[in-house]
Structure 1
């Protein structure tokens, strides 16, 4: 089965089972994913890496195709009457891919890594519903036992003390950030290295590399049974070839394509019937380094937020594809998403006043600032609006292939 995906929402091309590629059994299913930034669930913070780690490391819950939360490593759960305590009951006889028992204490250890004060996850705030988690992550306390995670390996239970009633926490832990990893991940430098010794808790093992990317092999000890697709090759790059050409030629079975390509693929006699559109369940956002000036000042951050007409930029970039401005960090379609609109109001006058109050009237004295992104159609418009409204010049840079490797 082959699919071609458009990342705006997400469109897919589904090839007929009679096609030469779909019916071929002499090679793995090939999916264009790009290279992951990191394979450690507690380190990765981007959707691309998370899509890969979700196949390698399972959490206690998961979402089904209808976005309903379902049991994963946990077979059931229950809340206390006041909603402030949650007990997960793990499935019996769980094991990592190497046969090592997977216990509630392994879940606790994995989740504590997310809020490790020495190097917290970029998504550590997802765990802040857990009692004591935020204080621990911020280094205000140093004892991990102060965090409301209690493992009872004999009973097969993980008890979570919540900071407040949070019955949606079972949805939160479906995030790949909460994937359960082996204890050796912090002591063995090769724990995340592709190969025969890779240990997983999810449906697939990272068994090797290929000339184009990574090779995943079905985990025979996966709690839900060995996955039906035995081998998957995650293609990191096409070396200049277009995704549509590679798909049409049978070199890919599932791949992202651009909005522009999607607009004509819908009318292609061969590929058009295979095109599908689904929710991408992702959010594009810009963040600040708040550890030092100028963005440690909330007035500066608010000024940037109010200086840009985010709704207009999203609308102009949408073209013919349905696209919604991100008014929350939770994308549309996620159960329990708030109806509140958290998007800053577009108010250039207030933005200029905030910037002046912070000590940078008209942008005077504002330090050199780099806008580092993965490259999007929004960057130029945002740089232009910030310069026009605030007098701040941003140096836009794009993270190309191998960016993180060069920093290592």
Structure 2
């Protein structure tokens, strides 16, 4: 008979072991600005949602902590001499979270689904060079098997292009290179992204999702051991504004938080945990070029851009220490000369005089003021910036701009349905490449286009850049494309992004210039009990 004393000792030891295991679990608590719109990579539109996608799904090409390309689901790849065929060699040890092997057909299925019109993907522009991708997406070709993607065998994927695209590996490190588990999608229908249904091949799997509260990921035990994740559990915490995020960080509830503009000076004065960096990102206003007062009226668009005193905005309103933006691509890419407006060095009186003349040419003046509405997602710092800009337009030009805020999802829906005249957004890319930020202006950008901008000459320059034989020639062509787009005024850049974040000292090797780091690349010490 087992003695009670022995049994009690075993229970005690087991309890201590379980407690030690629980204490050793490494948990990362990271903020998201809004409830995730979707966990379907093909419908992702926000940087926060993309970060979650990268935790769940490993694309063909990976990125290390410094955003350099490294092997992902593919152990290696090569391109043909003519640049028209990419061959990816998958890891034989790749597994889905349910234990199924990751095979080339999973990528074929994902890419065919991505370009299928019925999917309603946010944007296929970055893979429009794949044979028949544009024709299938536009509905001109019904045979989806005609897409230039083939499974040579279980571990070999071949992608055929209609034209050279040197950035294809870059885009294969994003949602465009992610596989999907066909059986789970077809068996679960629209519910395939819910906890219990979602099967992923990345370093984490979905454990739970409480709407408007948090989304929890846990380490995927089936994930291969190359660059293993150090974090065991990731909690994505929904924070409705920056002030709330800061309070939760200071209360020890989150591991980093963006500093609200009004608190940047406070943080710089006495916070040892403040981390500052430069991102490839821009805050901007944009026009509806499909309909409304600004469609086919570039002079109106130029006049409004001229009258924005960007130095005043960044120095007295935004307060984040950001540089003013007179171009689209932030000057943070080695070897790339960012374009800018030809009037950037004009003093404000000269710019206002030019703006008034342009408005007069369009028939607007004191007796007939230009009136329009600016939609924006509900956010206090955005409201303050737009109030300042609207005041500048009113004072300098007599323009009457009405501001209308909307909850994020409602705002996104309005923009997607072209139910706006002017809007406010930001764009950021972890990939330090100008083509990524220029891509939304390509005619084929689809839902990824905020403006409806169409210029065949711009498209031709970007396309030529993709086919250039070296980086120098490519960057020169993209510089011309950026300058051409700026001269058409589909957008009004206001400021280039600076990252101001408070980061727990438990995180080691934090990268200041990375906006949304992958959880697998974060090294964090366990929290003290």
Instruction: Provide the TM-score with structure 2 as the length reference.
Output: 0.60
Instruction: String of CA shifts for 1:197-232, please: whole Å, max 9, x gaps.
Output: 331121111111358311111111112365222112
Distance 1:118 1:289 in 2: 25
Question: Which structure features the higher share of helix residues?
Answer: 2
Matches of 1:389 and 1:132 in 2, distance apart? 50
Is the counterpart of residue 339 in structure 1 residue 341 in structure 2?
Answer: no
Alignment CA distance shift 1:83-1:398 (3 Å): same
**Which protein is bigger by CA-based radius of gyration?**
2
Over 3 Å counting, the alpha-carbon distance change for 1:121 and 1:247 in structure 2 is: same
SS at match of 2:121: coil
Paired with 1:344 and 1:162, the residues of 2 have a C-alpha distance of 37
* Structure 1 gap segments, 5+ residues each: 1-22
Q: 2:386 aligns with which of 361, 369, 379?
A: 379
Distance in 2 between residues matched to 1:302 and 1:119, nearest whole Å = 38
In the aligned structure 1, how far is the partner of 2:413 from the partner of 2:338? 41
Aligned equivalent of 2:156: 157
Partner of 1:397: 404
The corresponding residue for 2:347 is none
Question: Retained in 2: the 8 A contact 1:300–1:354?
Answer: no
Deviation of 1:71 (Å) = 1.1
The aligned residue for residue 265 of structure 1 is 267
Give the whole-Å Cα distance in 1 for the aligned partners of 2:64 and 2:125.
24
Cα distance in 1 for partners of 2:174, 2:394 equals 37
User: In the alignment, is residue 308 of structure 1 matched against residue 310 of structure 2?
Assistant: no
Q: Is the 8 A contact 1:348 1:389 kept in 2?
A: yes
Whole-angstrom CA distance in 2 between matches of 1:136 and 1:389: 49
SS of residue matched to 1:316:
helix
Counterparts of 1:119 and 1:342, CA distance in 2: 37
Say what the alpha-carbon RMSD is for the aligned residues.
3.9
Q: Label 1:99 to 1:264 Cα distance change in 2 as closer, same or farther (>3 A).
A: same
Measure, in 1, the Cα distance between the counterparts of 2:241 and 2:191: 28
Kept in 2: contact 1:30–1:252 (CA 8 A)? yes
Alignment of 1:159-308 (within 5 A): 159-183=158-182, 184-185=184-185, 187-193=188-194, 195-210=195-210, 212-224=213-225, 227-237=229-239, 242-268=244-270, 272-287=271-286, 292-294=290-292, 297=295, 299-300=296-297, 303-304=300-301, 307-308=304-305
* Closer, same or farther: CA 295–99 of 1 in aligned 2, 3 Å: farther
In structure 2, relative to structure 1, the CA distance for the partners of 1:197 and 1:118 (3 Å cut) is closer
- In structure 1, the partner of 2:348 is none
Matches within 5 A, 1:55-74: 55-74=55-74
Greater mean alpha carbon deviation, residues 361-370 or residues 65-74: 361-370
- Going from structure 1 to structure 2, the CA distance change for 1:203 and 1:354 (only over 3 Å counts) comes to farther
* Equivalent residue number for residue 99 of structure 2: 99
Partner of 2:54: 54
Determine if contact 1:308/1:386 at 8 Å carries over to the other structure: no
Residue 132 of structure 1 deviates from its aligned partner by 2.6
Question: Structure 2: where are the runs of 5+ without partners?
Answer: 1-21, 345-350, 415-529
Tell me if structure 2 keeps the 8 A contact 1:61–1:71. Answer: yes
> Does the 8 Å CA contact 1:303/1:352 hold for their aligned counterparts?
no
Q: How many equivalent pairs are there? A: 374
